[in-house]
Structure 1
Amino acid sequence: MLPALAPYVLYVEDDRINIVLMEEVFRQLPGWRLECAEDGAQALNLLSEGPPDLMLIDMNLPDMSGLDLLQKVLARTDAAAFPCIALSADDWAEQVETALQAGFKDYWLKPIDVTQLAARLKSSIATDAV
């Protein structure tokens, strides 16, 4: 079951092409809201405005790693209310396992398959809301 309000996704990504691609996907999701942050500091500022329903975090940001950002997010009392998903082109089993053990709900490989992205987003929010 999806949340009653329009889903809000915070996407933390420093690659402009990936941001444009995600924005295009969200144009196909009426009612969904996407906010983009290009580094960890900007993401933390956006979090202070209110928690998202889902947070997508690139593992290699210019100012901190995705793991570092996740630790800062989890230190906030409201962070347990929404899932965080790691995004990376690195598919090393050790990195995936480290990310999941650190608290990421899932680990999505880049390049993202845009044909399945909407379904994955909906599933991630619906699963967390149950």
Structure 2
Amino acid sequence: MAQVLIVDDEPNILLSLEFLMQRSGFQVLTAATGAQAREHLEASHPDIVLLDISLPDTSGFELLEEIRANPACTSLPVIMLTAHGREVEKEKGIALGANDYVTKPFSTQELVTRVQSLLAQIPDGD
């Protein structure tokens, strides 16, 4: 079962995404801060990350840069999930290494489909 790390500081979004991903058959880790996300990345090695841009202790962009700089995480799929819908922010996220960029509000089914699609592209290392 694939493991999804959801990083978002908005409790309602975190809860609804956690429920959605669990209902879709994923194991779920949640983090409300960049620091919590770093701990999960180090300890649990999730299969995919849903990453908000606006976090209380760092930006999602900075965290994405850290993920891409870590040799163990270079191929980890990351979907930026944010209310920042301006084209310049999307371009920045993609340029920094995000695999996809979803703007809030979003279709829950579309998000699940994007997660499944990215996970299907990963070679099975087991």
Contact 2:22 2:28 in 1 (8 A): no
User: Would the aligned equivalents of 2:8 and 2:33 in 1 still touch at CA under 8 Å?
Assistant: yes
Which of the residues 85, 102, 106 maps onto 1:108? 102
Give the CA RMSD over aligned residues.
1.5
> What are the equivalent positions in structure 2 for 1:1-130 lying under 5 Å apart?
6-30=1-25, 32-129=26-123
- For 2:60, the aligned partner's letter is G
Per the normalisation by structure 1, the TM-score is: 0.88
Unmatched tracts of structure 2, length 5 or more: none
Query: 1:116, CA displacement in angstroms?
Result: 2.4
Q: CA deviation at 1:99?
A: 0.9
Q: Percent identity?
A: 30
Aligned mates of 1:84, 1:12 — CA distance in 2? 11
**Cα distance, 1:72 vs. partner?**
1.5
Cα distance in 2 between the residues matched to 1:83 and 1:47: 12
Structure 1 gap ranges (5+):
1-5
Say how many residue pairs are matched: 124
Question: Relative to structure 1, is the Cα distance of residues 28 and 50 closer, same or farther in structure 2, using a 3 angstrom cutoff?
Answer: closer
Q: What TM-score, normalized by structure 2, do the two folds share?
A: 0.90
Q: Distance in 2 between matches of 1:61 and 1:8?
A: 21
